[in-house]
Structure 1
Amino acid sequence: MESRLLSVFGKQFVRGISTTSSACGKRNFKKFPIFNKRGTKIFKAQQAKHPHPDVPIYDYGVRPTGYKIGNKYVQVDEMIPEIVVPDLTGFKLKPYVSYRVSDIVAPPMTPEELFGAVYVRKITEDFKNGKIGPDNQSLEPSPEEKMTAEEARAKVQAIRSDIV
């Protein structure tokens, strides 16, 4: 605290700078927050039974898993978060991906691209080896050639989701 006396024509002025606020008198709870882990055991016990309105119970951003009725806490199973973690055994990539990696944006797949991704290689090999019948059908169809349109579309969507 800094104070300075100033005298002008016999009158004395006092100029002061205070670094504390005077809200709530001597109990300025807003300036010095006492969170859950701070304070004595007696203070924590008092806060648990009768919380002081100026000292909020700080939850550190954690959502509650129930609600309070009077002094009783009711646990709700649906409010407990369920963490789903995939099984990454045999996964080839490392768990860290750099933020400097450029974004990969895949445009919508056209029917020509779908045909090229699924069928072209097998048809070309069958043509070179002479395994195409009189009606231009493969004499030894692969599992890809036996797929229906819906199965092929689902397979391509799975491949595209792995790329993106």
Structure 2
Amino acid sequence: MELNMFSVFGKQLIRGISTSSCACGKRNFKKFPVYNKRGTKEFKARQAKNPHPDVPIHHYGVRPIGYKTRTGFVPVNELIPEIVVPDLTGFKLKPYVSYRVGDIVQPPMTPEELFGAVYVKKITEDFKNGKLGPDNQPLEPSPEESLTPEKAKEKILSIRSDIV
């Protein structure tokens, strides 16, 4: 194709060269992807009945919940996501936390703090009620206090293995 252009200095010839293939029109589906929502109604109906193999079906990041067969689609129950929502009736907290709330910095708990959080209340109650023996051992020990060190270690290890 030749184009004749005129300039101030005279006649200039400019020749345009096309580098694209002549099949870049409607037939080259890879160059011009037409996804699910971009086609016409006729195109969508045609794709639903007999999908063209060169036109990709775009799922928008959603994982399939089954597989296709020659006759249709077979859903698999294990692939269907199950959303577990707890019952929040009577729940006092609100679902929103303001961005103006300051950061809460809490150092790791020391052994003394852990002992104070778990045992101090029971020991002070036993002391006030006179339920301590001659060696300050409890006369009526709780189930946790009556465990031997080996049993306590086994209990902690079993709890950890249940959590993990």
Give TM-score scaled by structure 1 length.
0.60
Secondary structure (helix, strand or coil) at the match of 2:51 reads: coil
List aligned pairs for 1:27-106, cutoff 5 A: 27=26, 34-98=34-98, 102=103
Residue equivalent to 2:14: 13
Residue 140 of structure 1: how far off its partner (Å): 5.3
Secondary structure (helix, strand or coil) at the match of 2:89 reads: coil
What are the Cα deviations for residues 16-74 of structure 1, in whole angstroms up to 9, with x where unaligned? Answer: xxxxx878533375676543244444322211233234432111211101111234222
Q: Structure 1 residues 136 and 104, CA, compared in 2 at 3 Å: closer, same or farther?
A: same
Contact 1:6 1:13 in 2 (8 A): no
Contact 2:33 2:55 in 1 (8 A): yes
Residue equivalent to 1:25: 24
Q: Structure 1 residues 151 and 86, CA, compared in 2 at 3 Å: closer, same or farther?
A: farther
Unaligned runs of 5+ in 1: 16-20, 158-164
Residue 114 of structure 1: how far off its partner (Å): 2.6
Counterpart of 2:25, as a letter, is: K
Identity, % of aligned positions: 67
Counterpart of 2:79, as a letter, is: M
Structure of greater relative contact order (alpha carbons < 8 Å, 6+ residues apart): 1
2-structure distance, mates of 1:23, 1:114: 78
Secondary structure (helix, strand or coil) at the match of 2:81 reads: coil
Secondary structure (helix, strand or coil) at the match of 2:116 reads: helix
Counterpart of 1:81, as a letter, is: P
Unaligned runs of 5+ in 2: none
Secondary structure (helix, strand or coil) at the match of 1:78 reads: helix
1-structure distance, mates of 2:31, 2:99: 39
Residue 145 of structure 1: how far off its partner (Å): 4.8
Secondary structure (helix, strand or coil) at the match of 1:113 reads: helix
Counterpart of 1:13, as a letter, is: I
Output the aligned Cα RMSD. Answer: 4.4
Aligned residues: 150
What are the Cα deviations for residues 61-102 of structure 1, in whole angstroms up to 9, with x where unaligned? Answer: 111011112342222221111222222233332223346653
2-structure distance, mates of 1:118, 1:4: 94
